[in-house]
A = this chain, B = another copy of it.
Amino acid sequence: MLNFRNDYSAGAHPAVLEALCRTNLELTPGYGLDPYCEQAAETVRGLCGCPEAAVHFLVGGTQANKAAIGAFLRPYEAVIAASTAHICAHETGAIEHNGHKIIHLPAPDGKLTPELIRSAAAAHTGEHTVLPRLVYISNTTELGTVYGRGELRSLRAVCDELELLLYCDGARLGSAMDAGHTVFSDYGETCDAFTVGGTKNGLLFGEALVIVSPALRHGFRHCMKQQGAILAKGRLLGVQFSAVLKDGLYLTLAARANALARRLAQGLEELGIPLLVPAASNQLFPILPAAAAAELEKHAAFEIQEQLEGDRVCIRFVTAWNTADQDVADLLAVLKTLPER
């Protein structure tokens, strides 16, 4: 069975696993207060060009979003997000569980724009509505689209204008940087806080949260602990991040996933299979007749994104650092054989 289900089906990149094995029996203080985490944090600070940033390592993305956003907002402050955003659609109301409303904005390509943000701010004034305070973006987005440097700067500008915080969920930040030609320091320059995702790019698990704005740093480890988000053997996160951030492995892995997706997208185009949004990173959203999708499920694992009108279905293919070249070729071969695709 070919696997294009997601980019977290396998374990860790061998270099990461090797680092975990090598350090396994060392004895270090717990809770992330160890030299490995300190070194990884320092590396992240260096890459981002934020020598004063607070860097925290958390196990997962929902956990990181929930802990961060919960720490940053006062009770009546709200989040602005695209309605396809992970926090809107895939985290079982984790942000609302912390007490904060998310203002959902329609964005067909999954990307917020200054105009959308301004409209949300304009629609929420006075004491009887929540106060928009934080703009949540994900890069890459949940539709695989990508913000480039100019877009990040435009979002920063509108956030400055409206006194909003800018938070970037970087669960797939490596893929976003490769695809959109951004670098770590672009996020350090434009975001109040952002995550560097490890789970989907070579780690067993782990997201690094970079808190750039001084005003947001205070008390965050208390918040993490209260959320159940401090790992006892915290060094496991530091060890893993150090391994992928060394020698550019983080970007190498992401570039490989993107390259495989480009090859797959080209094949899809040649087969005349349309996409929901243009291919941009390691997630593709082809549209197939329902019967073809059903047939395809016998050969490949993938997610159903959305039922469409006219008995069609939008599915999702995801490539990862560990996807084999041959798997892409095999998937295209299967697709070629599908009826009425």
CA of A63 to CA of B58, assembled, Å: 12
Bound CA span A223–B229, Å: 15
Interface string of A54-87 (1 = CB under 8 A from B): 0000011111111100110011101000000000
Minimal Cβ-Cβ distance residue in B for A90: B128
CB-based contact A100/B93 at 8 Å: yes
Does residue A226 face the partner (Cβ distance < 8 Å to B)?
Answer: yes
Distance from A170 Cβ to chain B, minimum over Cβ atoms (Å): 15
Flag if B11 contacts A25 (CB, 8 Å). Answer: yes
- For A65, the chain B residues whose CB sits under 8 A away are 228
Decide if A222 is an interface residue (CB 8 Å cutoff). Answer: yes
Q: Which of A89-140 contact B (CB under 8 A)?
A: 89-94, 96-102, 104, 127-131
Task: Please determine whether A75 and B97 come into contact, CB atoms closer than 8 angstroms.
Answer: yes
Taken together as a complex, chains A and B put the C-alpha atoms of A60 and B219 apart, in Å, by: 21
A233 touches B24 (CB 8 A): no
Inter-chain contact B9/A222, CB cutoff 8 Å: no
Report the Cα distance A27→B302, complex, angstroms.
12
Query: Do the beta carbons of B25 and A222 come within 8 Å of each other?
Result: no
Q: Say if the beta carbon of A10 comes within 8 Å of chain B.
A: yes
Indicate if A213 sits at the interface (CB-CB under 8 A).
no
Within 8 Å CB of A94, what residues of B? 225-228
| Contact A205 to B226, CB < 8 A, known contacts A76-B93, A78-B93, A131-B219 | no
In the complex, which of the residues B27, B28, B92 contacts A226, with contact meaning CB atoms closer than 8 Å?
B92
Question: Which of A15-23, A179-187, A260-268, A270-278 forms contacts with chain B?
Answer: A15-23
Contacting residues, chain B, for A28 (C-beta < 8 A):
9
CA distance A74 to B222 in the complex (A): 10
Report which of B11, B131, B219, B232 forms a contact with A205, defined as CB distance below 8 A: B232
Cα of A127 to Cα of B29 in the assembled complex, Å: 14
Kindly provide the distance from the CB of A318 to the nearest chain B CB, expressed in whole angstroms: 11
Of B14, B27, B29, B93, the residue contacting A130 (CB under 8 A) is B93
What are 17 A-B pairs at a CB distance below 8 A?
A8-B30, A8-B232, A9-B30, A11-B236, A31-B127, A60-B228, A61-B232, A62-B225, A65-B228, A75-B222, A90-B129, A92-B129, A97-B99, A101-B102, A127-B221, A128-B225, A227-B227
Given contacts A8-B30, A93-B129, A204-B233, 18 further A-B contacts (CB under 8 A): A3-B27, A10-B24, A11-B25, A11-B26, A17-B20, A21-B21, A62-B228, A71-B74, A75-B97, A76-B97, A76-B223, A89-B129, A92-B130, A93-B100, A93-B130, A94-B226, A98-B99, A128-B225
